[in-house]
Amino acid sequence: MDIWQFIASRWEEILFASAQHLSLVAQSLVVATLIAIAVAALVYTSPGRSGVANAVSAIGLTIPSFALIGLMVAPFGFGVAPAVVVIVFFAVMPILRNAVVGLAGVDRSLVESAKGIGMSRIATFARIELPLAWPVILSGVRISAQMVMGIAAVAAYVLGPGLGGFIFQGLSRLGGAGALESIVVGTVGVIILAAILDLILVGIGRLTTSKGIRV
């Protein structure tokens, strides 16, 4: 069986797994972005707290994703839950670092001016600091998207949804009929989805970034 025959015979399954994979990553990215921005908002004004946040994000990225997924089986069992926890965990790290850098890089004179005209701390953050830091934060989101797209495939080890199932199915019967094709479809599919998601994020950046600060 060649690759095209494999795709033709299982195209519905491939499309369904691709949709699951993209949905899993996209929803996890939204959660990770909210968490990262919330944490960054609490630490970016303090060099000490910012340093701790950056150190934690650097250490977190050194944890093997396969090992962490295996550890999540005990508290969460198999399926979607451990996959989401692991993907969100890894997605937070680059976004958090960029959020801290972006928020800390906002001109303090603009913040003081906002306070001077009576804006509250929350309003200043939401209307001044966050929009100015958003391009930097979004760069972190794009980095995370590419990274966790592959991690989501590894999540198939704990029966997580997505294209990783094709990869693990192929590896489990390597040398058998259709094994190589299954691995190729899963791998190439992940690459294609990563490119699609990056284009979507570029579009979101164009729509959500003020024209005055676009690069």
**Which secondary structure element, helix H or strand E, spans residue 28, and what is its range?**
helix 3-43
Q: In this structure, what CATH number is given to the domain that contains residue 56?
A: 1.10.3720.10
Each residue's pLDDT tens digit, 110-148: 888 888 888 888 999 999 999 999 999 999 999 999 999
What pLDDT sits at residue 214? 62
CA-wise closest residue to 17 among 187, 205, 215, 204 = 187
- 47-60 and 80-104 helices, crossing angle to 10°: 140
Instruction: Write out the residue range of the structural domain in which residue 170 sits.
Output: 3-213
What does each of the 215 residues of the chain score in pLDDT, given as a tens digit? 588 888 999 999 999 999 999 999 999 999 999 999 999 999 998 989 999 999 999 999 899 998 999 999 989 999 899 999 999 999 999 999 999 999 999 988 888 888 888 888 899 999 999 999 999 999 999 999 999 999 999 988 888 899 999 999 998 888 788 899 999 999 999 999 999 999 999 999 999 887 766 65
Residue 63 is predicted with a pLDDT of 93
Distance CA 214, CA 192 (A): 27
Confidence (pLDDT) at 1: 57
The C-alpha atoms of residue 130 and residue 121 are separated, in whole angstroms, by 12
Q: Which residues contact 9 (CB under 8 A, 6 or more apart)?
A: 1
- Residue 27: name the closest of 93, 98, 91 by CA: 91
For residue 212, the model assigns a pLDDT of 67
Residue 209: what pLDDT? Answer: 86
How would DSSP label each residue in 145-177?
Answer: HHHHHHHHHHGGGGT-SSTHHHHHHHHHTTTST
Residue type at 20?
Answer: Q
If one counts the domains in the chain, the total is: 1
Tell me, what DSSP letter sits at residue 127? I
Distance CA 104, CA 123 (A): 17
| Confidence (pLDDT) at 215 | 57
